[in-house]
Each structure stands twice: as structure tokens, then as C-alpha cells.
Amino acid sequence: MLYQYQFACDRRNLKSVRDFVSDVLRDEHFPESEIPAVVLAVDEICANLIEHSHQSDPNDVIEVQMRVSPDAVVCEIIDRDGIFFDFSAHTNPDIRQMVREGRNGGVGLMLVKRLVDKVELERHGTQSTWRLTKINPCSEGGFPQNGSSAATPDGGFPSLSFNEGQAARPSV
């Protein structure tokens, strides 16, 4: 099933994003021990987009889509009009150097890469899509095929939409 949640680019909305992700994972019976890692990874990407891609402009919107299968969860964070970040050029910071210099921040993407099994970033025109995949350690299947193994018999995905501050409602 496809779950969707849209929110304005305001850091105050991050709690609702975390609640959305954890509620979906619990509803889909993803292992409880893995939920905090997925929640934190999605939160970190969303916080970076709010701050760096949109300069906390509440008129801008980010969308989170989730597909959960018995094998894995795939979270896509879709940024339609923000400033593009070249993830391929990212290198992990030297933590010891940061401590010596008394710097804080700058470790979020390193953390995300350690929390989930796969991190991808695609760009199409002005849209950037971050794709985070976390394997279900209780499954035997590994990475899902074609993005997810939760497809309906006709190959599509049932859809459930969330909007900021609203309960889940199936899309028609």
C-alpha cells in the first residue's frame, strides 16, 4: 500500500512527519526494533530539506511517500521545487576534527546512511526524490523488486493519503 503525507516547510511539522512514519510502520507490522531508525532517517532528510532547500518557507511543501512490504520499507521524500543537493559529492565528516573544532551539525547524512540500508537521490527537472530503503531483518527476501513487493495483483499500489493535521483517508 502507498501512504502519502504532505507538509509545509516548517520545522514545527517534523513531529507530525515522525508520527506519520511510525504510525504507518506499526500499522504495517514492521519490526518495532527497526522503527526508530526509519523515523530518524526520514526526519533528518526532511529537516535538511526544510532548512537548506527551502530556508524554512512555510509556503513550500514536501511530500513523504511510503511503501511497506514484508521484505522492506521504502520511504520517498519528494521535494518539488527546492535547491538541489549533490549527494554524490557528499563525504562523511571527520568527527574527531569536528570535536576538536567545537563544531556541531553536519553529521545528519552520515547518520542516515548508517540508519537505513540504501540511500538514493534522483533529480528530474526541479524535483528531487530521496529514497530510503530499510530491509526487514525478519524477512528472507532482501531488497524488494521494482521498488516494492507490496503491489496489488494488477501491479499498481493501493493509495492512502495524509495531509498535514488530518487522519488517513484512502484515495479514490
CB 42 within 8 A of CB 48: no
DSSP 165: T
Query: 101-114 pLDDT, tens per residue?
Result: 766 655 567 889 99
> Which residue spans within the chain are E strands per DSSP?
2-8, 61-68, 72-79, 118-124, 127-135, 159-163, 169-170
β-sheet bridge partners, residue 128: 79, 123
Q: What is the pLDDT of residue 139?
A: 82
For residues 80 and 99, give the distance between their C-alpha atoms in angstroms, rounded to a whole number: 35
Q: Which among 96, 90, 120 is positioned nearest to 108, based on CA atoms? A: 90
Q: What is the pLDDT of residue 137?
A: 92
CB 132 within 8 A of CB 64: no
For residues 127 and 157, give the distance between their C-alpha atoms in angstroms, rounded to a whole number: 22
β-sheet bridge partners, residue 131: 76, 120
Query: 145-170 pLDDT, tens per residue?
Result: 434 334 333 333 343 444 444 434 33
What does the block give as the cell for 2?
502507498
Q: Which residue has the higher pLDDT, 132 or 154?
A: 132
pTM for the model = 0.75
pLDDT at 19 over 80: yes
Query: 79-99 pLDDT, tens per residue?
Result: 998 766 665 665 665 666 656
What percentage of the chain exceeds 70 in pLDDT?
65
Three-class HEC string of 82-100: CCCCCHHHCCCCCHHHHHH
Domain 2-170 is in which class? Answer: alpha beta
Q: What is the pLDDT of residue 93?
A: 59
Query: 34-60 pLDDT, tens per residue?
Result: 999 999 999 999 999 999 888 899 999
What percentage of the chain exceeds 90 in pLDDT?
55
Over the chain, what is the mean pLDDT? Answer: 79
